[in-house]
């Protein structure tokens, strides 16, 4: 699959490497334009390329990996998602108004997207720890579109063990920053780290 990234920082690079290792192609973008990412794309290899935010957002599956205050501006560049899958990997800081779940806010910024909340629960430093053999990591995801969740779950295996928490609002409350499943590192041999 071709996987786009809005944001090319720590989270994007970690998951880009993972997807490349498993045969996918990645398209990375940031606010400064593709030239600023050429070196990174070269380092990642021939199946990685740098592009504009719009081009990254044109891919079949797109990961939103910007910081929370950057999300509205980043998504404003994509007027209509036409049913493409957007994975919200962001974490909303706890001091923000939490009347609605974080992903409901992101959904407002991304009209027409099939939104899945995922990848936000794992601390990247922990994912990058290459203990060998490394157990599969449980990875929570939530969303209202079953097919979108299945497609994401498919590209996260092997390596991760996706656990569907249900709809965007109910699941989002559990896995968003401050929720009981946020920052929970659970592997399949039931080792817990906080
Ligand atoms: N770090 C973790 O362990 C972890 C784990 C799970 C989830 N998260 C969440 O994942 C998100 C990303 O975290 P991170 O650690 O990867 O942050 P980061 O390293 O600061 O990366 C943010 C990226 O977003 C880009 N960006 C900023 N404004 C943009 C815009 N308007 N349009 C497009 N791209 C833009 C930045 O590049 P330019 O400034 O060059 O545009 C940068 O590449 C955050 O919401 C974080 O809470 C973090």
pLDDT at 83: 97
Q: Is 127 in the pocket of ligand 1 (CB under 6 A)?
A: no
For the sheet containing 25-29, what is the strand order? 48-50, 25-29, 2-6, 61-64, 85-88, 114-118, 137-143, 160-164
Token representation of residue 24: 């996918």
Residue written as token pair 């053999």: 133
Token representation of residue 127: 């994912």
pLDDT for 7-28, tens place per residue? 999 999 999 999 999 999 999 9
CA of residue 24 to ligand 1 center, whole Å: 21
Please, are residues 162 and 141 in contact by the beta-carbon 8 Å criterion?
A: yes
**Residue-wise pLDDT tens for the chain (194 aa)?**
999 999 999 999 999 999 999 999 999 999 999 999 999 999 999 999 999 999 999 999 999 999 999 999 999 999 999 999 999 999 999 988 788 999 999 999 999 999 999 999 988 887 777 666 667 888 999 999 999 999 999 999 988 999 999 999 999 999 999 999 988 877 665 554 44
What are the structural domain ranges in the chain? 2-193
Among the residues of the chain, which ranges form H helices?
A: 10-21, 38-44, 53-57, 71-75, 102-109, 124-128, 146-155, 168-175
Calpha distance 52→145 (Å, rounded): 27
CA of residue 74 to ligand 1 center, whole Å: 11
Partners of 63 in the β-ladder: 5, 87
* Closest among 172, 141, 143, 173 to 156, alpha carbons compared: 141
Q: Is 32 in the pocket of ligand 1 (CB under 6 A)?
A: yes
Coil, helix or strand for 184?
A: coil
Partners of 111 in the β-ladder: none
From residue 39, give the alpha-carbon distance in Å to each of 28, 46, 50, 75.
Answer: 12, 12, 9, 24
Residue written as token pair 């203990």: 131
pLDDT at 192: 47
Selected from 3.40.50.300, 3.40.50.720, 3.40.50.2000, 3.40.630.30, the CATH number assigned to the domain covering 2-193 reads: 3.40.50.720
Q: Is 14 in the pocket of ligand 1 (CB under 6 A)?
A: no
Token representation of residue 26: 């990645």
């Amino acid at each position: 699959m071709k996987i786009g990234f809005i944001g090319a920082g720590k989270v994007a690079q970690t998951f880009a490497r993972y997807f490349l290792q498993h045969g996918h192609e990645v398209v990375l973008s940031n606010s400064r334009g593709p030239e600023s990412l050429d070196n990174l794309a070269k380092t990642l290899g021939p199946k990685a390329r740098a592009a504009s935010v719009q081009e990254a957002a044109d891919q079949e599956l797109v990961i939103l990996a910007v910081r929370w205050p950057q999300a509205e501006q980043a998504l404003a560049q994509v007027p209509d998602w036409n049913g493409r899958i957007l994975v919200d990997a962001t974490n909303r800081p706890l001091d923000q108004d939490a009347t609605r779940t974080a992903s409901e806010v992101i959904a407002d910024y991304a009209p027409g997207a099939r939104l899945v909340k995922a990848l936000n629960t794992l601390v990247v430093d922990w994912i990058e720890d290459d203990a060998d053999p490394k157990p599969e990591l449980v990875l929570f995801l939530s969303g209202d579109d079953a097919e979108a969740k299945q497609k994401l779950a498919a590209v996260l295996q092997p390596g991760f063990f996706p656990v569907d928490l249900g709809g965007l609002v109910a699941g989002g409350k559990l896995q968003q920053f401050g929720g009981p499943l946020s920052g929970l590192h659970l592997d399949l041999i039931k080792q817990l780290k906080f």
